[in-house]
Structure 1
C-alpha cells in the first residue's frame, strides 16, 4: 500500500505581492553654487528611511558640495527610522567635511515635533524654509 503526500502532488504556484508604491520622493538640486539640497517629500518610516540615507550618500559622492541642506518641508510623517536616517546623514556629512543643515517647513508639526522631542534640533541647525537655510541666517 503506497501513501502519497497530497501537498507534494499539487502544482507549484508562486505568489508574489507587488512592492508597495514608494511613499517618499527624494530629489537632489543645487539652487546656488556650492549648495546642494536633498529634498524629501512624503511619509518617512521604516521602508522609506533608506531613501534619505541613499540620497545623502549620493549627494556627498557628487563632488562634495560646500554646504548641504536636508529639506524635510514636504514630509507629512517622520517616524523613528526617518529620524535615524537624519542622524546618519548628519554623521556622513560631518565625516565628509560638509556642513549640513535642515529645513522643517513653516509650521510643519510632522517634522518640527519629532526633531525637538528627540533633540535633533541640537544636532543640526534647522530653518523654517529653504530660503532661510540658503541665506544661512540663524533661526
Structure 2
C-alpha cells in the first residue's frame, strides 16, 4: 500500500500555512501551486514565489514503514513530514524501523532538520532508535546533516535496502 501526499501552499500568507496544514486531515492533503502573498504588499501586486511541491510516499516494507520524500523540506512542508513520521511510528509494531528516504530531496532547511531531531530523539521508548535515514547521493540532504552534526546522531544509509538490512 502506498499513500502519496503533495504539499505546497496556495494563495496564503506564510504565517497562515501551519494552521492551514493542521486543519486538513493527513490523508486528504493535496495542495498544489504555490503563490504566497507578501505582507509588505497588502494593497499591491502579489509576489509569486514558486516552491516545488514536496511529495511524500508512505510504503509498508514488511514490519517496517518507508517514508519517501521528494522536493523541498522547508517551513511550509515540514509539518506534513512530521505528521507522516509520527503516523509511521504510531502505525508500526514496537521495535520495527521507520526508514526516511531523503534521496530525492532538493532542499532541506532548519525546519526539516528540526523534524529529524524530534523524530530521532523522541522521549518515548517506542520510537527510540527506530529511525533510519536514507540520503543516497542527495547533496541537498547530506550537506545540512553534516554541517549540523546530525550525521553523527542519525544512522545514514545509501539505499532503502541498506537501511532495512541494518535494522534487523
Counterpart residue number, 2:86: 57
Equivalence for 2:132: 101
Task: Write the distance in 1 (CA, Å) between the matches of 2:118 and 2:127.
Answer: 14
Of 101, 107, 115, the match for 1:85: 115
Q: For 1:93 and 1:62, locate their aligned partners in 2 and report how far apart those are by CA, in whole Å.
A: 17
TM-score by length of 1: 0.76
Residues 104 and 128 in structure 1, CA contact (< 8 A), matched pair in contact too: yes
**Native 8 Å contact 1:71 1:103 kept in 2:** yes
8 Å contact 1:42–1:77 — kept in the other structure? yes
Distance (whole Å) between structure 2 residues aligned to residue 57 and residue 25 of structure 1 = 17
For residues 83 and 119 of structure 1, do their structure 2 counterparts lie closer, same or farther at Cα, with a shift above 3 Å needed?
same
Moved runs in structure 1, 4+ residues, more than 6 A? Answer: none
Over residues 70-92 of structure 1, what are the superposed CA-to-partner deviations in whole Å (9 max), with x where a residue is unaligned? 11111010011111111112123
Larger Rg: 1
Unaligned runs of 5+ in 1: 1-16
Q: Secondary structure at the match of 2:120?
A: helix
1:94 to 1:119, Cα distance in 2 relative to 1, 3 A = farther
SS in 1 for 2:68: strand
> 2:20 — aligned with what?
none
Classify 1:124/1:58 alpha carbon distance in 2 versus 1 (closer, same or farther; 3 Å). same
Q: Number of aligned residue pairs: give it.
A: 119
Residue range with higher mean Cα deviation, 59-68 or 108-117: 59-68
Say if 2:28 is the partner of 1:35.
no
* More displaced stretch, 117-126 vs 85-94: 85-94
* Structural mapping, 1:1-139, within 5 Å: 18-19=11-12, 20-21=33-34, 23-31=53-61, 33-64=62-93, 66-92=96-122, 95-97=125-127, 99-105=130-136, 107-136=137-166
1-side partners of 2:76 and 2:132: how far apart?
24
